[in-house]
Structure 1
Amino acid sequence: MKAFGKILGLVLLGLLLLVIGLGFALTHFFDPNDYKEEIRQLARDKANLELAINGEIGWSLFPWLGLELHQTSLASAATPEQPFADLRMLGLSVRVLPLLRREVQMSDIRIDGLALILRRDEQGRGNWENIGKPAGAPATEPAAEPRGNEADSTGARSGMPIKLDIDSLTVNDARITYQDAQSGQQFSAESIQLETGAIREGSAIPVKLTAFFGSNQPLMRARSEILGELRFDLGQKRYQFEKFRLSGEASGEPLAGKTLNFSAQGELLADLDAQIAEWTGLKFSANQLRGLGDIKVRELDREPRISGGLSVASFNLRDFLAGLGRELPTTADANALSRVEMATRLNGSPTSFALEELTLKVDDTILTGRIAVEDFARQALRLQLKGDRLDISRYLPPKATDGASAARQSEVQETAQAASAGDSPLPAAPTRHAWSDAPVLPMDALRLLDVQATVGFDELLFDDHPFTNLDLNAQSREGLLALQTLRGNVYDARFEANGKVDVRQALPQLSIEAQLGKLPIEKFVKLEKQESPVQGLLDLTATLTTRGNSQKTWVDNLNGKANFLLSDGLLVGADLEHYLCRAVATLNRKSLTRTSTKDTPFEALRGSLQITNGVARNPDFKASVPGLTVNGNGTLDLRVLGLDYLIGIIIEGDKRAMPDPACQVNERYVGLEWPLRCRGPLELGAKTCRIDQDGLGKITAKLAGEKLTEKLDEKLGDKVSPELKDALKGLFKR
């Protein structure tokens, strides 16, 4: 047995020496460069490739199977004149004996000057198509049924894991370009540099990759670098990228000449058996933006689902967008959007994405809830938000007085000054339009909008008015925005409204129904730098329609009806009793000795409005003032915010002392309707009122006629018939 073993050893040694000798002979007496044409033909027949080897082929056989290729190009056999890959040099070597054990032991792999050029023509065909298919082979070939033992042995061999052991991989100066003739788009990755450490399964493999990326639609350039340690397990199909770090910068047309510096790091994992991928310990930045999070993708083999968490530290949104070439519109508060931060849970799919359990802080406001795009194709946005306190005026454009508005303010101020001067004449009706003609609605965006929104605020400030317990429900689809509910409180007054905005036509159509209860009107009706001319609690119901896309067109086309009641109020700086006293003094042919300093309290002002094209007609105005009844009719021109009313004041019996001896009321004045005319800017209220001289003349004539009738009765007594007496009275009353 010992002799047999010795003989066997000698035989094996002889075979090994023979293999080494054959390898030496092959490498020294066999030159693969002599067979370039046969190699090219083999590539055509087996892989449908046009292989051009313009440089020398260097090789070795044992103990390393080594290969070096120089100046090589690859093209589809159908388009041999259009190479899709050029290679300056490829060098690699593999140990021969470990290959028999399905172990790949390689020295350094080096690839220099690889240029991969991918093109798609006008018909959508790519220059890489049909590569790898034998020439003349059908697109699909039925697989032959393996015979029993052969199938088993093949399966067993194919199931054996391949062990990789590569000293390193180096790629220098590689370039990849893609061109699409149909869309005109071009993408490129240039100056690609890849360096790795030893590549061994289960071990951490240091990786460094740098590249420059570019595109033409839009024109963009980016530089990026990736560092980390790659670990893999082929048997379990598990791949990890530990200590992953991505950094770089980008510039181009979308950034308007600005530069974006970005970075991201964390731990990456892909488990193909479990069909999950994870990015844990995520840290990212984009200029001054900083954030943390984790992302998990599951069901990779079906419809991937995204979940995880994300938090963004406080940053200046205005400065951040400016750094990306996106300037926000100027706001009333220059510091608006200077502090924004967010924390949320992520939930998404290939067709949808949601921010769940969202906490969003914007300046001094905290919003919680959910924001979701339920369908990317339809841009279906869903909002469920609750906020604490928001001053919306901070985020609106600064108040700018245009020419028309300035002219109207000047007109109102002049009228106010004239009206404050003693016995000034009746103010003229305002003529300047009070509203802006700047577009308000983003028509194109609203037509595309698919939104369902439920939004609430504990307090919302608008133009310093506090709206509390605000709830809004709205939806928009295909250009029809429906305000289903808007309710809340303002100055403890309850309001509720619903309406529609229809932008499906060229000219938007708007409608609204509103109810308002116990609103302190003095908070809303006031002249700049002066107190409100009227005080009281307003109850209002209104149904209104209009069309257009500016304040001016909305008011010009306003139609509808409303009912109002103003209770427990005060006409500030307007003494109706003084107006009455002046009228009485005129009839008494006396001069007033006192001036008016009082306001006029009232129990109620009520009436209805019929609005036609921005002009509200009020035929049934009534006011209850202690000791007086006030009736009126007139118009409110909402286009110029002007009023024009005829007011009648009726003394309810001689129950009160008049404020001046010149206007003592006698019994003949009781029950008469003393006339006032109110005309001028709405902001001035009762300060626009004056005695109606025409109406007062009619009262004078009536009283004179009644006095003559009384004297006629005294003179005639019972001396004439009743028919003649009535005829004579009628003569004096004409």
Structure 2
Amino acid sequence: MKAIGKILGLAILGLLLIIVALGFALTHLFDPNDYKDEIRDLARSKAGLELDIRGDIGWSLFPWLGLELHDTTLASASTPQQPLADLRMLGLSVRVMPLLRREVQMSDITLNGLNLTLTRDENGTGNWEGIGQPPQQQDQTATEPATTTAETESKPGKASRPLQLDIDSLTVKDARVTYQDAQSGQHLSAEGIELTTGAIREGEPIPLKLNAFFGSNKPVMRARTELQGSLRFDNKLQRYQLEDLRLSGEASGEPLQGKTLNFSAQGQLLADLAADVAEWSSLKFTANQLRGLGELKASNLQDQPTLSGTLTIASFNLREFLDSLGQSLPDMADGSTLSKAELITRLNATTNSLSFDDLTLKLDDSTFTGQLGVSDFAKQALRVDLKGDRLDLDRYLPPPSKDAATQSRKSEVKASETAAIGSGTTPLPEKPTQQAWSEASVLPIATLRSLDTQVNLAIGSLTAMQLPLDNFNLKARTGGGLLTLQNLTGGLYNGRVDASGSLDVRPDIPQLTAQTRIARVPVERLLQSQGEQVTIKGLLNLDSDIRTQGNSQKAWVDNLNGKVGFVLDNGILVDANLEQQLCRAIATLNRKPLTSEPRSKDTPFRELKGNLTLRNGVASNPDLKASIPGLTVNGNGDLDLRVLGMDYRIGILIEGDKGAMPDEACQVNERYEGIEWPLRCRGPLELGAKACRFDNDALGKVAARLAGEKLSEKLEEKLGDKVSPDLKDAIKGLFKR
């Protein structure tokens, strides 16, 4: 038995020596470099590859099947003149015996100096197309291979053992990948690629590290990135995990205007292809000053991918963040705005939509909750449904500026106003003639025609155009070039404002309509908020229905038509003492000088009301009425909104106590009963009642009428019934003309 064992041992040893000798002979006596042409032909005919091995081929046979390629280029056989890749060196080795068990056990894989160039020509054909197919099969349909595969899979038999990988490490050095598209002119690149891994074994964590520089030409951008993590995969379950991911880098380029973006991200990545889902959990990310957390999950990866998750962005200075990205903000009335921003939301997205649900957004001292998103990227379909506690919109708008026409008009008003203040002793102001509105285009017509929006906004306290609105609500819709303000409501200075309207930009000339209702709003507060001089006070009630067209302030005013009704309760005509002016007129008729100072520089009234009919920027007001203690005022006239001027004729009737005038010289007697005292109001609209003077021409007619009545009385006293009634009427008529 010992002899048999010894013989078997010697036999095995002999076989091993023969195998080693055979391997030595093959690797030293057989040179694969002698067969480069055959290898090139084989690659072309079997794989559709144009292979050019300019360097030496190094190889070993046993126990490692080793291979080294130097200075090699690859191209598609259909475009051999356009190299797809070239590499400086590729080295790998595989254990021979495990291959028989469908196990790939490899030592270190080294790839050095890879240069991969992907291009599309003007016809959209890529230089990689056709690789993997022999030239004679590239023009055939895919049905034959599919049928063959199906037949192979359908054959009964023992299931093949899955391929198992066992690689000591993978090292890629100085690699470069570029992509060029001749149709779009787009150029992308990844350079300086350095990849190192630990042992690659299925089901076990594989440490890896990747460095690369990325670039593009549209726009010009450069980015440096570094990725570290631990990769785990299971080919049978189609499950791939990247654990403890850490991505960091920096970017610069044209969009950043010379600034640099430093970014980082970390978390756990999972792709389960069998379940058709991918997840990024424990997400943490930074971008300059911005810091955030989140959880993301993608579903239906193969069909219609959807993304959902949560996102939290910690409080940060949005203004400084945008500046660090080279993004300049437009001028704002308050330069300290956007100094604080914070976001918490649920995220839902598809390939054509994005929404932020259960959103809480804090911006400066405002907090909003609700939903914000785009339901269709192609249509720019914006959807907004938000509730906020407060917002001072004026802080975010451009600083107020006045154009030259407005400044000139202000100067004109100021000069007239200075002369008009008092009791009306100065000449009647002239109507303004200068155009008060800009001809510059206001609306971005092309943008408005493409808008598709639905906006529901509720804010507890909103300041806009210097107007403080409480319990503000807005509902608006846009689509197909028609913008509809369905409802706008809010409290204003303890009153209320309701409005609706539309903007139709479908025609060449935009059409605008507006309906407004204002209830018990102090008009002086409105004037003060707009920086205007307070010329009238009182609680304003207004109903309007107006329409216009055009795309400038001037066009809107020139084409303004519609109706406006107003009532002003318990008000004051500021710096306009109509009682004193009336007293001066009566004193003139009484031929007595005034001996006392005016009791007040203002005129209070119980009610001021009227209706305006707008025609091409001019408002006709035929029924102006004012109820002043002791007086009734009736008037008619026009407001020329094109130049912000007015021209009114007013009649004042004395009521009640006829002796309640402020000066003895203007005491009223029975002769003045029923007389309508004429007043003319003309000048810049901003002057209000301060532009009113008694009409001297009309006042002369009143004097003549009174003189005629007095003469008639004297004739009647002396002649009695001797004068016929016809003669009396004729004498009175002479003075009424």
Same fold (TM over 0.5): yes
Which letter maps to 2:645?
G
> Secondary structure of 1:718's match?
helix
- CA offsets 1:205-254 (integer angstroms, 9 cap, x no match): 22111111111222222111111111122222221111111111222222
Residue 514 of structure 1 corresponds to which residue in structure 2?
516
- CA offsets 1:417-448 (integer angstroms, 9 cap, x no match): 11125521112223344444444323332222
Q: Aligned ranges for residues 464-475 of structure 1 at < 5 Å?
A: 464-475=466-477
Task: Say whether residues 1:615 and 2:618 are aligned partners.
Answer: yes
Bigger drift between 644-653 and 658-667 goes to 644-653
In the superposition, relative to structure 1, how do residues 401 and 466 fare at CA in structure 2: closer, same or farther (>3 Å)? same
In the superposition, relative to structure 1, how do residues 97 and 374 fare at CA in structure 2: closer, same or farther (>3 Å)? same
Residue 155 of structure 2 corresponds to which residue in structure 1?
151
Task: Say whether residues 1:492 and 2:494 are aligned partners.
Answer: yes
> Secondary structure of 1:481's match?
strand
> Secondary structure of 1:717's match?
helix
Distance 2:3 2:439 in 1: 113
Residue 27 of structure 1 corresponds to which residue in structure 2?
27
Which letter maps to 1:587?
L
Q: Percent identity?
A: 62
> Secondary structure of 1:545's match?
strand
Residue 78 of structure 1 corresponds to which residue in structure 2?
78
Residue 360 of structure 1 corresponds to which residue in structure 2?
361
Distance 1:131 1:203 in 2: 32
Residue 432 of structure 2 corresponds to which residue in structure 1?
430
Contact 2:249 2:263 in 1 (8 A): yes
Q: Aligned ranges for residues 34-433 of structure 1 at < 5 Å?
A: 34-137=34-137, 138-140=140-142, 141-142=144-145, 143-144=147-148, 151-153=155-157, 156-157=159-160, 160-420=161-421, 423-433=425-435
Contact 1:654 1:666 in 2 (8 A): no
In the superposition, relative to structure 1, how do residues 720 and 438 fare at CA in structure 2: closer, same or farther (>3 Å)? closer
In the superposition, relative to structure 1, how do residues 6 and 708 fare at CA in structure 2: closer, same or farther (>3 Å)? farther
Which letter maps to 1:473?
K
Residue 548 of structure 2 corresponds to which residue in structure 1?
546
Contact 1:297 1:307 in 2 (8 A): yes
> Secondary structure of 1:127's match?
coil
Aligned length: 731
Which letter maps to 2:373?
A
In the superposition, relative to structure 1, how do residues 623 and 307 fare at CA in structure 2: closer, same or farther (>3 Å)? same
Contact 1:573 1:597 in 2 (8 A): no
Which letter maps to 1:151?
K
- CA offsets 1:20-53 (integer angstroms, 9 cap, x no match): 3322221122111111111111111101111111
Contact 2:440 2:552 in 1 (8 A): yes
Which letter maps to 1:108?
D
Contact 1:211 1:224 in 2 (8 A): yes
Distance 1:575 1:510 in 2: 40
Which letter maps to 1:112?
N
Distance 2:463 2:735 in 1: 65
- CA offsets 1:661-686 (integer angstroms, 9 cap, x no match): 00010101011000111122323221
> Secondary structure of 1:593's match?
coil
Contact 1:658 1:664 in 2 (8 A): yes
Residue 639 of structure 1 corresponds to which residue in structure 2?
642
In the superposition, relative to structure 1, how do residues 547 and 144 fare at CA in structure 2: closer, same or farther (>3 Å)? closer
Which letter maps to 1:607?
G
Shift of 1:152: 3.6
Which letter maps to 1:651?
I
Distance 1:693 1:601 in 2: 24
Q: Aligned ranges for residues 441-590 of structure 1 at < 5 Å?
A: 441-526=443-528, 532-590=534-592
Distance 1:225 1:146 in 2: 43
Distance 1:729 1:679 in 2: 32
Contact 1:706 1:733 in 2 (8 A): no
Bigger drift between 531-540 and 550-559 goes to 550-559
Contact 2:701 2:736 in 1 (8 A): no
Shift of 1:542: 0.7
Contact 2:574 2:603 in 1 (8 A): yes
Contact 1:653 1:671 in 2 (8 A): no
Contact 1:255 1:326 in 2 (8 A): yes
Of residues 666, 670, 680, the one that matches 2:669 is: 666
> Secondary structure of 1:457's match?
strand
Which letter maps to 1:201?
E
Distance 2:377 2:584 in 1: 73
Distance 2:368 2:381 in 1: 21
| Ranges in structure 2 where 5+ consecutive residues have no aligned partner | none
Task: Say whether residues 1:624 and 2:647 are aligned partners.
Answer: no
In the superposition, relative to structure 1, how do residues 409 and 696 fare at CA in structure 2: closer, same or farther (>3 Å)? same
> Secondary structure of 1:101's match?
coil
Distance 1:502 1:7 in 2: 105
In the superposition, relative to structure 1, how do residues 135 and 474 fare at CA in structure 2: closer, same or farther (>3 Å)? same
Distance 2:529 2:368 in 1: 35
Shift of 1:78: 2.1
Bigger drift between 523-532 and 539-548 goes to 523-532
In the superposition, relative to structure 1, how do residues 319 and 439 fare at CA in structure 2: closer, same or farther (>3 Å)? farther
Distance 1:148 1:550 in 2: 74
Contact 2:513 2:546 in 1 (8 A): yes
Residue 698 of structure 1 corresponds to which residue in structure 2?
701
Distance 2:182 2:11 in 1: 65
Residue 687 of structure 1 corresponds to which residue in structure 2?
690
Shift of 1:177: 1.1
> Secondary structure of 1:250's match?
strand
In the superposition, relative to structure 1, how do residues 730 and 82 fare at CA in structure 2: closer, same or farther (>3 Å)? closer
In the superposition, relative to structure 1, how do residues 352 and 4 fare at CA in structure 2: closer, same or farther (>3 Å)? farther
Which letter maps to 2:279?
E
Which letter maps to 2:213?
F
> Secondary structure of 2:105's match?
strand
Distance 2:150 2:394 in 1: 78
Distance 2:407 2:444 in 1: 26
What's the TM-score, normalizing by structure 1? 0.95
Contact 2:537 2:572 in 1 (8 A): yes
Which letter maps to 1:58?
G
Bigger drift between 101-110 and 424-433 goes to 424-433
Distance 2:9 2:153 in 1: 33
Contact 1:653 1:670 in 2 (8 A): no
Shift of 1:327: 0.9
Which letter maps to 2:120?
R
Task: Say whether residues 1:606 and 2:609 are aligned partners.
Answer: yes
Distance 1:530 1:72 in 2: 82
